[in-house]
Amino acid sequence: MTGAAAGTVCLLPGGYVDGEGVVHREAEIAPLTGREEELLAALAGGSPAALATEVIARCVRAIGGVRPLTPEVAGRLLVGDRQFLLLRLREATFGERVDGRLACPWPDCGARVDIDFSTADVPVKRCAGVSATYRVELTEEAAVTDAAGAQHRAVTFRLPDGRDQEALAPLLAENPAAALTRLLERCVVGTEEPWDDPAELVARLPARARLEVERAMEERAPAVELEMELLCPECGRAFTAPFDLQDFFFGELRTGRDLLYRQVHYLAYHYHWSEREILELPREKRMAYIGVLADEIEALNDAV
């Protein structure tokens, strides 16, 4: 039977920094197979960030010299790189076209608005260079005062990654402001020197300093621009809508296990392939074989 699905190579907009400070950017990905669909069906309702880690670890074969990709490495990838990989995995699994629906946000409308675009047209913000940590020089009015009364005009931080997404997902759903504070506590390292308690440093940041640190993090981070300008055909009003790539992608992939196993049974019955062989097929190839069989069976029935 067929072997593993062919891989696709792409360049991360940011990059993975290993323990020795080497930046790895070239990613080799493969489309999701029935195995991943089975996993997603079993984990339906779980955290999208945790699912992203599992899928990336399973379907990204390598990033630069890092091979194979473990869940630990997938969790340490920058948020923008994870979004980019999910976008490319979505292309490899379903193709570039995206069709879906959103609700008009105006309270007196709520009509369903069709969305139709190509993932190839989604803007991706790339970084010129990636580092394990960054330093931002604060303006004079944003200086941080430590417990000894000394002022600091520099803050060192790292960029948010998948570990932060997974840890803060429950809090983000309940209290976005508190989640942002916790994110800073996780990502801020120190001032000119590392602090023993980054949470204390974050608590001492003036509002102006927080704003400058947040802007510096945003400027340096890779990103996939997932906002769409839409027009409601019902009420005629325009609105901007965020496109939640993780929720949408996993929603597409959550084929019920019953349907997946029916596909396995159908192909096994006619081709005599094993369950393992069929589940190793990507969805596109699996559906192509089912389509061929359906045409053959229809032709045989017409000939009777």
Mean pLDDT of 244-256: 75
pLDDT recorded at residue 99: 85
- 148-157 average pLDDT score: 95
| Distant-in-sequence, close-in-space partners of 157: CB < 8 Å, separation ≥ 6 | 133, 134, 135, 136, 184, 187, 188, 189, 213, 216, 217
Mention every residue, 6+ apart, whose C-beta is less than 8 A from residue 237.
Answer: 104, 106, 109, 231
pLDDT in tens, 157-187: 999 999 999 999 999 989 999 999 999 999 9
User: Given a cut of 80, is residue 256 above it in pLDDT?
Assistant: no
Q: For residue 251, what pLDDT band results from cuts at 50, 70 and 90?
A: confident
DSSP string for 263-296: HHHHHHHHH---HHHHHTSBHHHHHHHHHHHHHH
| Tens digits of residue pLDDT in 282-298 | 888 999 999 999 999 88
Q: Is the Cβ–Cβ distance between 113 and 233 less than 8 Å?
A: yes
- The model's pLDDT over 74-114, given as tens digits with 9 standing for 90+, comes to 999 999 999 999 999 988 888 888 888 888 988 899 899 98
Got the DSSP string for 244-269? Answer: -HHHHHHHHH---HHHHHHHHHHHHH
Residues 233, 116 contacting (CB under 8 angstroms): no
Burial class (CB in 10 A: 0-12, 13-18, 19+), 240: exposed
Per-residue model confidence (pLDDT) at position 304: 64
Radius of gyration of the chain (CA): 23
CA-based torsion, 18, 20, 22, 23: positive or negative: positive
In angstroms, the CA 215 to CA 157 distance is 12
pLDDT, tens digit, for every residue of 116-146?
888 888 899 999 889 999 999 999 999 999 9
- Looking at residue 5, its pLDDT comes to 53
Backbone angles phi, psi at 235, to 5 degrees: -100, -10
Per-residue confidence (pLDDT) for residue 3, from 0 to 100: 46
pLDDT band at 212 (very low <50, low <70, confident <90, very high): very high
